[in-house]
Amino acid sequence: MTEEQETPDVRQLGLEPSDLDGHTLEELTDYLEAGRLPLDLDIEGSPGCQLALDALERLRGLGGQLMEADTAAMPEVDDSWVDRILSGIALDARAGRRIPFEEAEAGVDFGITEGAVRGLIRSAENAVPGILVGHSTLEGDVTTAGAPIRITIEVNTLYGESIPAAVERLRQEVGERVHRHTDLALTGIDITVRDVQRVSDSTEEKS
């Protein structure tokens, strides 16, 4: 990242140190860039760190292209989208509410964290070219089995991609993953495009 696009302070993102078991997004970024070597068992054994690492790795892929475009763009592109995505990654790492599964048999109590579901939602961007998930919210009483739940998602897209097609594909991917891995009574998925970023051709002249 450039100096102007440094990882924001963790506390400004609403993330407590306990959410990453004492680690920071900056530390996890350095660990990822080092190829996750030497192996840090404390990081590898932390669910919150794993969610953040997965999201940071995806951001490093498509996000790297977008940040290069920001640098080359004229006029200069607003780079606040980077902070918004990092904020979403930080929120994903928070465990949040406990979401129960419907009991398979008497005396069995299974559940999943809200953070894990947000990580699941974010992972759907892998199947949709040109999409970066910034932030997602589970609206409704997720702590009660069978309660109606609606998901809202904010995304960034690449200029030149069909926004309606990308949004619909993301909606389908999220719906399938949530239904496959949770017992949430999903009533709808609302997706808002916050930014459209242009990746400049590397052969374009920079004026």
Report if residue 38 sits inside a domain.
Answer: yes
User: 0.85 cut: is pTM over it?
Assistant: no
Q: What is the pLDDT along the chain (207 residues), one digit of tens a residue?
A: 333 333 333 333 334 445 678 888 888 889 988 999 999 999 998 877 887 888 788 777 655 555 554 444 444 445 566 677 777 777 777 778 999 988 766 666 788 889 889 989 988 988 998 888 888 999 999 999 899 999 999 998 888 889 999 999 999 999 999 999 999 999 999 999 988 877 554 434 444
Sort 15 into a burial class: Cβ within 10 Å, 0-12 / 13-18 / 19+.
buried
Helix ranges, the chain (H): 25-33, 41-44, 47-58, 64-72, 80-93, 114-123, 163-181
* pLDDT value for 46: 85
Report if residue 205 sits inside a domain.
Answer: no
Q: And the tokens for 43?
A: 């990081």
Domain count, the chain: 1
* pLDDT value for 117: 92
Report if residue 138 sits inside a domain.
Answer: yes
* pLDDT value for 81: 65
Report if residue 107 sits inside a domain.
Answer: yes
Q: Helix, strand, or coil here: 170?
A: helix
* pLDDT value for 52: 81
Report if residue 2 sits inside a domain.
Answer: no
* pLDDT value for 82: 67
Q: And the tokens for 148?
A: 């109606």
Report if residue 4 sits inside a domain.
Answer: no
Domain range enclosing 88 = 14-197
Report if residue 203 sits inside a domain.
Answer: no
What CATH number should be reported for the domain holding residue 23?
3.30.70.1350
Report if residue 206 sits inside a domain.
Answer: no
* pLDDT value for 106: 66
* pLDDT value for 73: 46
Closest by CA to 174, choosing from 191, 158, 159, 160, is 191
* pLDDT value for 79: 55
